[in-house]
Structure 1
């Protein structure tokens, strides 16, 4: 997306032009401007490259400082909720923290959903909220709310900055930022910085010289390094692991792979799995769907009696990565009586819904898997050819059922099965929550590259914005598969995709409501309560997305056949900009397809 600030810069004298002797300027319009400049400069030195700005007056010192910073990329959006999710997408795909600036008042709690998702999915955000000074809090002043600790325990750290003062050393401000950043963003957690400002909020006179105030920061002002560097050693390898790994890896086990973030993680997990010689069950978020070493359709396998019997032969499991999509797989892992259940993840947050894990490792997934592969030579792997072959054969049978059950008509289940195969290798795929993610995880057996999701809290809000952020950060084509209720939730965020420099395709599954609820017990059978209450859950709306596309100036197509869908996908990914591809289906159609396929698989 083209930065709003690439067109024009504020022509104020708080220019960040760097001379040979001084990296950081000493002249600023006022103390608010100076503190804002110090804050954003230190965040940039710590690794922040993008700053997302929502308009507001109380945040003017922060906005002006961001606007003239020579290295920060600025993005402006009028909706704070969408802006925060856009920042989440930037951070998710770039692997770097992203800053968000908002004004005071109700603008602040609009950020909450994205902060929850960031915390739950381990994505670092820096939330910078402007605030009224203490004397204007709880006294009836306009647009003044209690913002301290407003996000509860979801940030990894919170800085409650006082109003800027010459009595508070600049070194205190810088070291406070460094320490909070290390406690939060370095751990994959959000950081909240609340900034109280008294007026003046805007430059109104000639710049003042703050050389004396900055005198103690000379080492910092003349360099481009952060004031205090934190070296954390919690991202290492096995080191002093108390586990007898050779014994664990010589048994009969399963490798279960959840969300993986980097290509290094993917390669290391594959290398370890091949050394182990165990069946690999991979989530759609693992980037491993469709790989020859992976057993396809692990969710559907658990619908089959023979599939469950095969899995129950294992007495140990090694789960790697983040959250799993499949409820069936998650329940199986939690209910089976394992001799050993090991879990390796990047985050210390518990992911054990069955409370059955026996050993938990937190660290660099790629590094640890490489070390384990070196510990365990191929000759040490258990010889399990018959067991592995039985898994592969059953997986092929399930794939055949999925293909044969679907007629060559455009449907949600057809898209879930074939969409990955239609995408060029350089394209990323963002899968929306609720029905789309379940369809892809259940039916897709094609190799998926660059898969993104919001599965931390698994909400249906902010999906368009997050996908837009991913697209901007990667600078590669991206396809968003999203349901109609999710799309309506985030309609404002179509503003973010209007001027993309790369192709983005939104595949909208419009089944006139929350189709996922047709899979719940309420929708089954022919009870009186079903007919009376189902609309309270599915919320049919009768809306047509072509008018939303027209409002935001986005190209729109509505294919009615698989051939037209394939052609539309191919054309949409050939030119920059966003295309909205609306696929209209009957309510309950996907639930019916899923039910029929599961019935067939149960017979295998």
Structure 2
């Protein structure tokens, strides 16, 4: 067995022992040993392999698989620009705390700086975005290599999952591989390639955190940002406090949820009475929340089980690993917020159901997915529209680490592959175009049951609601912010053989959503960009009037 084949065989086996159950490969020559080892593990039923021709797609497919399973996922690339194409996914994984394992194949170090083909400096190419970088030496035929390879893989997985640091995120193992790059006949390896009799080479145990106690007293609200988990809901219900939960918080359920929180923070006097905020997860969605967390008269306590914590306004009075509530609030604080929410809901729903609008489409998609369903939502307007919906699936997934629109289709495909049932995706037209390669799936690859709903406003609709959308800036708005593209999405879907349907009314959308989700299909709903800003203003005005 040649060194590159032995190395790949051991690395893949140790990854599986460390809990890997899905892997993603983009084709290349230098990465052939790893690709073949993963393919053999897939054939043996030890993991499931996914192959994508575009490394950007591969990276975000892995992100979706991680979000769907909660397990680490390796992605394999060849050397050169292929590695750099993973950078957006690595950044999202870094800021979202996702265990993405980059296995970047490389030429042996002797070929660097010598003009060798497809060779560049890949050392620490992702900078501080990774929790660990390690270059595994070029495999050689000598005793001791197996322990080194297995130990380093176990260490990389532990760093990716945050087992000791409580700071999960991406890692990079750079893998210089010498020819031959495919299995060859020859003498046996000088030591056993086997791992431990059970489990990983090094079993890394997590460090338990201490819980902090929070007592009633100040008028408290709980803010649940992206990835907050049920801990936010439990804290709100235990304390009898209002819960302001973003769609991807995994906490937007139960009696404490205030569904119209974003609008109420702009239109209701209750906001001035808030004295304390408990922050879970990573809040990124709305300026009213950012404004609340920046107030000097509000005590901010951040609950962060991982090593990093969100505090962009620099107002956090305390950061705790976890918390327990000493006793519930016995005042009518929660009931007043619930009453405001119940009063506001009819006014919001009336505006959302008046024709096809972004928030209205989001509400229909949320209802179709169901409270217990899985919904992947793009950044920009899509996730903000969903935030206004009366029903937000508890398993809503969004790439809010850096809130980019790239990789959304691939993320949705990955999450859907991990899901046991039909999956929905809500996405804007620019996000759809940005990752249209995500629809290119080979004939031998698993295909999920995924319905993608595209809200097409022919450009950058979110800018219409921001400062740039003010009429005073109209002279340059369309060209540099609106960016109309006039792309035929139906023709784009046809190029990849993806079933497509255009809907022009709310009734047609509901009918299309009611059909069985089988395979991947796309529903396009067109909305005028010119209505975004007036609708946002109408929603706030409507709540001021109730």
Give the structure-1-normalised TM-score: 0.85
Q: Aligned in 2, Cα 1:551/1:172: closer, same or farther, shift over 3 Å?
A: same
2:415 corresponds to 1:470: yes
> What is residue 124 of structure 1 aligned with on the other side?
99
Question: Partners in 1 of 2:478 and 2:517 — Cα distance?
Answer: 42
2:31 corresponds to 1:55: no
8 Å CA contact retained: 1:112, 1:151: yes
Question: Partners in 2 of 1:130 and 1:406 — Cα distance?
Answer: 50
Q: Aligned in 2, Cα 1:317/1:575: closer, same or farther, shift over 3 Å?
A: closer
Q: CA deviation at 1:348?
A: 2.0
2:168 corresponds to 1:188: yes
Q: 1:581 aligns with which of 502, 523, 528?
A: 523
8 Å CA contact retained: 1:322, 1:345: no
2:147 corresponds to 1:175: no
8 Å CA contact retained: 1:413, 1:593: no
8 Å CA contact retained: 2:293, 2:313: yes
8 Å CA contact retained: 1:86, 1:469: yes
Segments of structure 2 that go 5 or more residues without pairing to the other structure are none
> What is residue 317 of structure 1 aligned with on the other side?
277
Post-superposition Cα deviations, 1:157-178, rounded to whole Å, max 9, x if no partner, equal 0110111113453212222222
Question: Partners in 2 of 1:271 and 1:456 — Cα distance?
Answer: 24
Question: Partners in 1 of 2:177 and 2:365 — Cα distance?
Answer: 50
Mapping for residues 428-577 of structure 1, pairs under 5 Å: 428-441=374-387, 443-496=388-441, 502-525=448-471, 527=472, 529-571=473-515, 574-577=516-519
Q: Aligned in 2, Cα 1:599/1:62: closer, same or farther, shift over 3 Å?
A: same
Q: CA deviation at 1:546?
A: 0.5
Q: CA deviation at 1:603?
A: 3.9
Mapping for residues 226-375 of structure 1, pairs under 5 Å: 226-233=200-207, 235-238=208-211, 241=212, 245=213, 248-260=215-227, 265-266=229-230, 268-289=231-252, 291-304=254-267, 307=268, 309-338=269-298, 340-362=299-321, 368=322, 372-373=324-325
Q: CA deviation at 1:56?
A: 0.4
Question: Partners in 1 of 2:414 and 2:351 — Cα distance?
Answer: 37
Mapping for residues 63-142 of structure 1, pairs under 5 Å: 63-69=35-41, 70=44, 71-142=46-117
8 Å CA contact retained: 1:413, 1:439: yes
8 Å CA contact retained: 1:497, 1:577: no
8 Å CA contact retained: 1:54, 1:77: yes
8 Å CA contact retained: 2:348, 2:542: no
Q: Aligned in 2, Cα 1:94/1:207: closer, same or farther, shift over 3 Å?
A: farther
Q: CA deviation at 1:108?
A: 0.6
Q: CA deviation at 1:500?
A: 5.5
Q: CA deviation at 1:222?
A: 5.7
Post-superposition Cα deviations, 1:570-590, rounded to whole Å, max 9, x if no partner, equal 10xx24201100011112222
> What is residue 10 of structure 1 aligned with on the other side?
none
Between the two proteins, the alignment pairs up a number of residues equal to 537
Question: Partners in 1 of 2:271 and 2:353 — Cα distance?
Answer: 31
The alignment partner of 2:316 has SS state of coil
8 Å CA contact retained: 2:374, 2:423: yes
Question: Partners in 1 of 2:105 and 2:75 — Cα distance?
Answer: 11
Post-superposition Cα deviations, 1:225-269, rounded to whole Å, max 9, x if no partner, equal 211111121x4342xx5xxx35x33443112222346xxx42x54
Mapping for residues 15-34 of structure 1, pairs under 5 Å: 28=1, 30-34=2-6
8 Å CA contact retained: 1:250, 1:381: no
Q: 2:188 aligns with which of 200, 209, 231?
A: 209
Question: Partners in 2 of 1:221 and 1:357 — Cα distance?
Answer: 46
8 Å CA contact retained: 1:500, 1:576: no
Question: Partners in 2 of 1:467 and 1:119 — Cα distance?
Answer: 19
Question: Partners in 2 of 1:492 and 1:445 — Cα distance?
Answer: 33
Q: Aligned in 2, Cα 1:497/1:169: closer, same or farther, shift over 3 Å?
A: closer
Segments of structure 1 that go 5 or more residues without pairing to the other structure are 1-27, 363-367
Give the structure-2-normalised TM-score: 0.93
Mapping for residues 373-392 of structure 1, pairs under 5 Å: 373=325, 376=326, 380-385=327-332, 387-392=333-338
The alignment partner of 2:292 has SS state of helix
